[in-house]
């Protein structure tokens, strides 16, 4: 099992190329089940979660081939993002096995495409990060309204389409914790091949939803309103393969913005969309982080003294829950008391104890964390518990005095492409070590 050894105190400076979005690529890969012919996806990151989805697609009769990178690396940056060629060759299998599904929640995204294209789906109830209860009932409920029937059997969700084709309708997609991103994408994909019009009210507005809709439109789908709370889909008879570039990963971009800030560094982040990070920019501006942009490049620098703030996670365009842990690490070094409230996944505070082991002063009260700023982090041995908590510990390690050891970094490999190589290229003292 791999670990990171980080010797903190180095000021990050240089250029970082941001990879394609993991949270966009995973449901888009599932959406390729809908298309006839070859689809070419560009900027698909090389991640363990992507590998799992590709393996799952392979079991569902899809041929996936990854090309080697064609663009030369930027300076000391590692090469990234070879294209993926995707083609459905066998539609006889409609079962997503537990052995694959247990590793990532995004595997639920094959449910809608399988039902719409093959009329049957057997999907194990998914696993993924342990950050609280994230039920898939909104996915099932939305697909039921399109005419699918479900039952549970041996830990699997078994869905069928009695009439042979799903039927469009008007439905509300909101849940107790707000809109569902993967649920919106799942139902939108299914509706693309349904009979008649589907209207999704209370749809998620995240850039990842827009990215998937853009691909479906290139395939021949008729979709309007994506990026708003009301999406209209006019079902078509078939979809055909297309070429599409995955949007930049806004969570990776935000993580590197905070890496620059926590080390008092200066980073030039290539291939970004700051419009996807408007709430993050707002909060970091108040902290004392200077952010400017020029075309697709973001320039980040920070003040030596960081100002404490209050922040609440919210659905897009609010502050994303996937950057909450990283912001908490940054605020540990602010000059005063900060407050973070988690409204998306109230249990998402597994990083608090580990940040405190490194010298942080954080107190958790229900869905709120109160952070008292300290002068520095101290190197310590800590355990990575989930993907974004791992990123927070990397940030703390970069700013620590002494050596930090992060165990179980397979969590971070699920969502950050070659993160230690990217950090090394801009001055971090970080290395990956393997236990024998």
Residue 113 annotated in ligand binding: no
* Beta-strand relationship, 35-36 and 239-240: parallel
- State in Å, rounded, how far the first CA of the chain is from the last one: 8
Question: What are the distances in angstroms from CA 296 to CA 17, 65, 134?
Answer: 11, 28, 34
Q: How far is CA 50 from the centre of its chain?
A: 11
Residue 156 annotated in ligand binding: no
H-only helix segments in 32-104 = 48-59, 98-101
Residue 126 annotated in ligand binding: no
Burial of 172 per CB tally in 10 Å (0-12, 13-18, 19+): middle
Residue 136 annotated in ligand binding: yes
∠419-47-53 over CA atoms, to 5°? Answer: 165
Residue 64 annotated in ligand binding: no
Alpha carbon distance 249, 43 (integer Å): 10
Alpha carbon distance 117, 146 (integer Å): 13
- Judged by DSSP in three states, 143 sits in helix
Residue 134 annotated in ligand binding: yes
- Catalytically active residues are 129
Residue 165 annotated in ligand binding: no
Residue 105 annotated in ligand binding: yes
Within a 10 A sphere around the Cβ of 233, how many other Cβ atoms? 27
Known binding-site residue numbers for UDP-N-acetyl-alpha-D-glucosamine: 105, 134-138, 322, 344
Residue numbering of the annotated binding site: 22-23, 105, 134-138, 322, 344
The annotated binding site for phosphoenolpyruvate is made up of 22-23
């Amino acid at each position: 099992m791999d670990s990171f050894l980080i010797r903190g105190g180095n000021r990050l400076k240089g250029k970082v190329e941001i990879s394609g979005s993991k949270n966009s690529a995973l449901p888009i890969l599932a959406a390729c089940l809908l298309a006839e012919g070859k689809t070419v996806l560009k900027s698909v990151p090389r991640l363990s979660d992507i590998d799992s989805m590709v393996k799952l697609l392979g079991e569902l009769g899809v041929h996936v081939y990854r090309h080697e990178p064609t663009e030369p690396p930027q300076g000391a940056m590692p090469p990234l993002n070879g294209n993926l060629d995707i083609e459905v060759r066998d539609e006889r299998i409609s079962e997503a096995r537990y052995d694959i599904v247990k590793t990532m929640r995004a595997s639920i995204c094959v449910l809608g495409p399988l039902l719409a294209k093959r009329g049957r789906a057997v999907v194990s109830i998914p696993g993924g990060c342990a950050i609280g209860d994230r039920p898939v009932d909104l996915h099932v409920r939305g697909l039921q309204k399109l005419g699918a029937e479900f039952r549970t059997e041996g830990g699997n969700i078994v869905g069928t389409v009695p009439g042979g084709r799903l039927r469009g309708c008007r439905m509300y997609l909101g849940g107790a914790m707000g809109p569902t991103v993967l649920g919106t994408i799942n139902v939108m994909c299914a509706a693309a091949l349904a009979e008649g019009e589907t209207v999704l009210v209370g749809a998620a507005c995240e850039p990842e939803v827009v990215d998937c809709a853009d691909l479906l439109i290139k395939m021949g789908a008729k979709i309007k309103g994506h990026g708003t709370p009301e999406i209209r889909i006019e079902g078509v008879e078939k979809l055909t393969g297309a070429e599409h570039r995955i949007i930049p990963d806004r969570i990776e971009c935000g993580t590197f913005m905070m890496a620059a800030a926590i080390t008092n560094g200066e980073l030039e982040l290539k291939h970004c969309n700051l419009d996807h990070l408007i709430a993050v920019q707002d909060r970091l501006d108040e902290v004392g982080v200077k952010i400017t942009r020029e075309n697709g490049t973001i320039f980040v620098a920070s003040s030596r003294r960081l100002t404490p703030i209050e922040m609440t996670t919210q659905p897009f365009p609010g502050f994303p829950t996937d950057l909450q842990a990283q912001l908490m690490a940054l605020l540990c070094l602010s000059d005063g008391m900060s407050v973070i409230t988690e409204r998306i996944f109230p249990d998402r505070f597994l990083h608090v104890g580990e940040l405190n082991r490194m010298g942080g002063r954080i107190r958790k009260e229900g869905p709120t964390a109160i952070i008292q700023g300290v002068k520095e982090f101290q190197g310590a041995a800590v355990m990575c518990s989930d993907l974004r908590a791992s990123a927070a510990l990397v940030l703390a390690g970069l700013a620590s005095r002494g050596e930090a050891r992060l165990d179980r970094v397979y969590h971070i490999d699920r969502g950050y492409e070659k993160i230690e190589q990217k950090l090394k290229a801009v001055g971090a003292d970080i290395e990956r070590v393997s236990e024998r």
